[in-house]
Homo-oligomer: A and B are copies of this chain.
């Protein structure tokens, strides 16, 4: 049986997961692929106890690309420059490449697509997005006969865990974040996750495939969850909504798209609103397949490792012979991402004021002639009672909502905020 020699660069949680799967599931992988997979080299900042000491260790990951005893390089280091150099060297030396590096693909995807084409390279990146969900393969292969016109996705387990914890246990954002850290769901520095950057990288990749266009991270609107309070969640709940950090892609007319990340209100009855805890979900709408939703773990050693190993098998069999983002980079479509203030939709507006300052709340509501429902709650914060009114508007262009809020805040000296509402009806 032909032996395929694997090098793993980066031995964190996922690196260990890949190593473990290649060892414990050797037999089924051989039976199913016709190949024997063997790890022959690794690279990491320091040597790891769980790696067989017979396996060649490299301090510098770039050296792996020159190792004649390696067929496939698996890049799980993250980061930009070294990872990109490793990719290029690997393909140049006629080896195959598997990566989970969403940041690299989202921010330098066009360059990478050209490198892959230049060397006629074979590359897999299933594990970059939504962990164990085979969503890259589905978008590129299973749904090949579709324009994908809408995507709504929960792509960050940390944020979903925090929002679920806040709602179910009535915790503050800070409490829930701390619990997430304790349970290993959040990093010591959680900004990458909670500010929506990780989610943005993933939707940029999915959009590029859906669009057959250059990944455009720069123009993606990104808002994280750190400004969401337990009051927002409870007020939304009173109106029958849940708050989720959503990645959103909408293709309006094959020229203009929305591509953004923000916390959104979803009716509690929407299926994607029910995806709680650290799970990911991707709901997409295709021109022929209609709606499809995939739900699964977004992170974890064996779960994400399972996606990396699937890529290893695919590239070993040279099955992954599609273009990086669905079509040749020279033919990429020219898509314009709309400014977020051009968004048209409903809004959840939260108005916060001291009871003794505003006599007649209807004066405020008059500013929103297109209002559907209103709820309010009183919060006693020591000196004075504060009232929070929350209302669900009818459809507005976002720039109009911004104008109204500016006016209210000026007139009543308030601090009004809004959260966008998504109506999917799936």
List the interface of chain A (C-beta within 8 A of B).
17, 21, 25, 28-29, 31-33, 126, 132-134, 137-138, 140-147, 212, 271, 274, 286-297, 300, 302-303, 305-307, 309-310, 313-314, 317, 319, 321-323, 326-328, 331
Contact = CB atoms under 8 A, between A and B. Distances in A.
B144 A138 contact: no
Contacts of A271: 271, 274, 295
* Copies of this chain per assembly: 2
Contacts of A327: 31-32
Given A288-B21, A303-B288, A321 B319 contact: yes
A402 to B, nearest CB: 36
Given A31-B326, A319-B321, 12 more contacts: A17-B288, A21-B288, A25-B287, A28-B145, A29-B145, A132-B286, A132-B288, A141-B310, A143-B310, A145-B309, A290-B302, A294-B294
Contact of A291 (B21, B29, B141, B297): B297
A274 B274 CA distance: 10
Contacts of A144: 29, 32-33, 309-310, 313
Contact of A294 (B274, B293, B331): B293
A143 B274 contact: no
Nearest to A147: B28
A293 B292 contact: no
A335 B281 CA distance: 33
Contacts of A286: 132, 306
Please give me the 3 A-B residue pairs with the lowest Cβ-Cβ distance, nearest first: A134-B142, A132-B289, A145-B309
B292 A296 contact: yes
A292 B133 contact: yes
A132 B290 contact: yes
A327 B145 CA distance: 28
A271 B331 CA distance: 41
Contacts of A143: 134, 306, 310
B293 A289 contact: no
A290 B295 contact: no
Contact of A142 (B29, B33, B137): B137
B32 A323 contact: yes
B147 A138 contact: no
A189 to B, nearest CB: 27
Nearest to A313: B144
A147 B302 CA distance: 13
Contact of A132 (B292, B302, B309, B331): B292
Nearest to A328: B31
Nearest to A132: B289
Nearest to A212: B31
Nearest to A142: B134
A134 B141 CA distance: 9
A319 B144 CA distance: 13
B145 A310 contact: yes
11 contacts: A31-B212, A31-B328, A32-B327, A33-B322, A141-B310, A143-B306, A145-B306, A145-B309, A271-B295, A288-B303, A288-B305
B142 A126 contact: yes
A156 B290 CA distance: 17
